[in-house]
Amino acid sequence: MLTIADSLSKARTAGLDRLDADLLLLHALEAALPGQNLRRSWLLAHDGDLLPPAVDKHFRQLTQRRCAGEPLAYIVGRKEFFGLDLKVDPRVLVPRPDTEALVEWALACLDELLLRQSGEALRLLDLGTGSGAIALAVKQGRPQVAVDAVDASADALTLARSNASELGLDLQWLQGSWFEPVRQRYQVIVSNPPYIQDDDPHLPDLTYEPIAALTSGPDGLNDIRQIIAGTAGHLAPGGWLLLEHGFDQGPQVQALLQAAGLQNIAARHDLAGHWRCTGGQWNGDDPG
């Protein structure tokens, strides 16, 4: 039998980085050691322990899946996002840390509106919610705000509802394409829509994730155009539309928002310093 240290060394030799190897081994150990507080520090403290053959076999299977390119989050079935532990699987995209910039911006807009609109209930709409990551993070951070979330995929909404139930958060889930099922006006509308070009050379690296949630036409902006076009009927006066997009699409999204009549156009950057989000405010005139 191999020790924990030996098994991790073999996984790194196979091509895994240290973090992925540690997390996959902890996942393999969960069933064998129920009740243990299994963290990476536990692996260091027990690196000389022998791995039971069944755990070693399971770990090698997980290692093969990760080396083949399957996202770690799909293998372990969880992903941390904005402090929330979310269930994820191939029905939805894996939430990315870059999207936390969109959540932070939405919370800042809500805070400003809460100061100015004392006593008035605020509503936020998340378009293309997937796992529910953005909507759930907002609801967790501002429980007094009514949050609605839309997705075209019934499978995605099933997973999002399950995440909401685990977290004890009450949201309204709507199935349909973008604004199709929406009957309200909102002070903030957020979306992390598909924005990858149909012929992007990096798509082969994303084959495990749902392609419909990734690509959006020859320039990657088809869905963003559709969202902007539908904003007029669903933003309250003074409301904000906040969009995530590709690192090089900022100027194009800015121009689309300006052409639609939104004002106070602003941007936010991701952890790497890329222009990742662009938004604008509707001051009451019909931007359509």
CATH assignment of the domain containing 249 = 3.40.50.150
- Assess whether 151 and 122 both reside in one domain: yes
Q: Which amino acid is at 72?
A: L
User: Could you tell me the residue range of the domain that residue 152 belongs to?
Assistant: 83-282
Q: Which of 80, 17, 65, 18 is nearest to 44 (CA)?
A: 18
CA distance 133 to 136: 5
Asked, for residue 259, whether it belongs to a domain, the answer is: yes
CA distance 40 to 19: 9
- Give residue 287's pLDDT: 41
- pTM comes to 0.92
- Give residue 119's pLDDT: 62
- Assess whether 52 and 155 both reside in one domain: no
Residue finishing a domain among 36, 68, 100: 68
Residue 271 CB burial class (10 angstroms; 0-12, 13-18, ≥19): exposed
- Assess whether 175 and 237 both reside in one domain: yes
User: Which tens digit of pLDDT belongs to each residue from 172-198?
Assistant: 999 999 999 999 999 999 999 999 999
- Assess whether 45 and 153 both reside in one domain: no
- Assess whether 23 and 51 both reside in one domain: yes
**288, pLDDT greater than 60:** no
- Lookup: tokens for 283: 């001051």
**285, pLDDT greater than 70:** no
User: 11: part of which helix (H) or strand (E)?
Assistant: helix 4-13
How many folded domains does the chain comprise?
Answer: 2
Asked, for residue 77, whether it belongs to a domain, the answer is: no
Q: Which amino acid is at 181?
A: P
